[in-house]
Homo-oligomer: A and B are copies of this chain.
Amino acid sequence: MPAKAKIGILGASGYTGAELTRLLLRHPRVEIALLTADRRAGQPMRKVFPQFSPYELPTLVSLDGIDWRDAGLDLIFCALPHGTTQAVIQSIFAAKPDAKIVDLSADFRLRDVEAYARWYGHAHRAPELQQKAVYGLVEVYRRDIKQAQLVANPGCYTTCSQLAVLPLLKAKAIDTDEIVIDAKSGMTGAGRAAKEEMLFSEVSEGFNAYGVGHHRHMAEIDQEFSAAAGKGVIASFTPHLVPMNRGILATVYVRGNRGRAPTDLHAVLEKAYAKEVFVHLLPFGETPQTRHVRGSNMTFIGVANDRQPGRAIVIAALDNLTKGASGQAVQNMNLMLGFPEAMGLEQVALFP
C-alpha cells in the first residue's frame, strides 16, 4: 500500500472546509495533516463542526507561522476569503516552489488581470501566479489540470451554468446573443459568515433574487463562454436564493441557430458528456431536481422544448458544496496527484 498523501485545508471552519473534510476523511489515498482557521485556532475541529466529533483530526491552527517548506504537504486546499488568498498562495509558493494548490476562492479564476481589476476594484496582487493558474473545470481542462501546480476551482453558479451551455457554444449550436441564465442557489453558497440577511428567520419561507444585473460570478461566465464560442459572449444572469441548504439549479433559455431543434441540442450534450462520470444527461424532456444530487459530485442536466419555436430550455442541477466547490476540488486533486479521477467521490446522493 502506497503512503498516503498529506493534505492541508486552509480555512477549515467554513462550509467548503467542512465539505473537504467530509470527503477526504473517507478518501483512501490521503490523510488530512493540517487544518487552519484563524479565528478558531487552538480548537479541535469538533468544536467548529460537531459532526466530526467521532473522528481523529488535527487541531485547528493559525496560518501565521506555518513553515510551508517543512510542512510536508503534498497538496493544499485553499478555502480562504477573497483578498487574503492571493498573499497566502504567494507566500506558499515562495517557500515551496513545487507546492500544489487547489484554490477555492475567485482569486485566480480570471485569466485577464485587467478584467479582475475591473470586477474586484483593485489590481491583482499576484499576476505572475495568475499565469500559472489553470481553470479547474475538469470536464474542459482535464489535460492541463494534470500538469498544474495551481488550480483555480470554479465557482458554484459558474460550474452549473457552464456544464449546461459550453458544449452548445463550442458546437456553435445556439445564438450567442440570447442566452438567459436564471439561477437558484441554496444558502450554503453564501458561506458561514454571520450576517443578518442569512439568519434562518430572514430566509425561511421566502424567495428572492439578489445582485440583479451585477453579480461578480458573471466575469467568470463571460470568460469561459467567450472561450468556448470563440467570440465575445455576454449572457443575462440572475441569481436567486432558495430556502434550502444545498443545491444549485440553472434554468437556461437558449435559441438554436441554423435550424437546430431542442433535440439537436440534447444530442450535442449527449456526445459531449458520454464518458463523463460526474455529468449525467437525462432523457430528452426530463429535467433535474437539486435534491437528487445532494451530497454527491453529480451534475444532472435536462433539455426540453420551449413554447417558442426554435427555443430550448436547458436545466442543470448540482450540489453547490460538492460538484460546485469541494467535490470538484477533490476531483482536481485526484488529477494533480495521479489518482483515479473519481476516487473518494463515489457517494450516492442523499435523498430524501
Contacts and interface: CB of A to CB of B under 8 A. Distances in A.
Contact of A25 (B52, B290, B348): B348
Interface string A169-191: 00000000010101010111000
A249 B294 CA distance: 23
Contact of A308 (B196, B234, B282): B234
Given A200-B199, A245-B352, A253 B49 contact: no
Interface stretch (A70-78, A83-91, A146-154, A206-214): A206-214
Given A18-B351, A251-B209, A350-B350, A245 B292 contact: no
Contacts of A308: 234-236
Interface string A92-106: 000000000000000
A257 interface: no
Interface residues of A, number: 89
Nearest to A295: B350
A317 to B, nearest CB: 8
A180 to B, nearest CB: 5
Contacts of A180: 180, 182, 253
B201 A199 contact: no
A184 B251 CA distance: 12
B311 A245 contact: no
B214 A307 contact: yes
Interface string A203-229: 111111110111000100000000000
Contacts of A51: 291-294, 296, 348-349, 351
Contact of A204 (B243, B280, B295): B243
Contacts of A304: 212-213
A240 interface: yes
B307 A236 contact: yes
Given A51-B294, A207-B247, A242-B242, 19 more contacts: A15-B201, A180-B180, A184-B240, A187-B199, A198-B200, A200-B202, A200-B245, A204-B205, A204-B352, A205-B352, A206-B244, A207-B244, A207-B291, A213-B313, A234-B308, A236-B308, A243-B244, A246-B352, A294-B350
- Nearest 8 CB-CB pairs, A to B? A206-B291, A208-B289, A182-B182, A51-B292, A51-B349, A200-B203, A201-B352, A212-B304
6 contacts: A53-B292, A184-B207, A199-B199, A205-B246, A242-B242, A243-B244
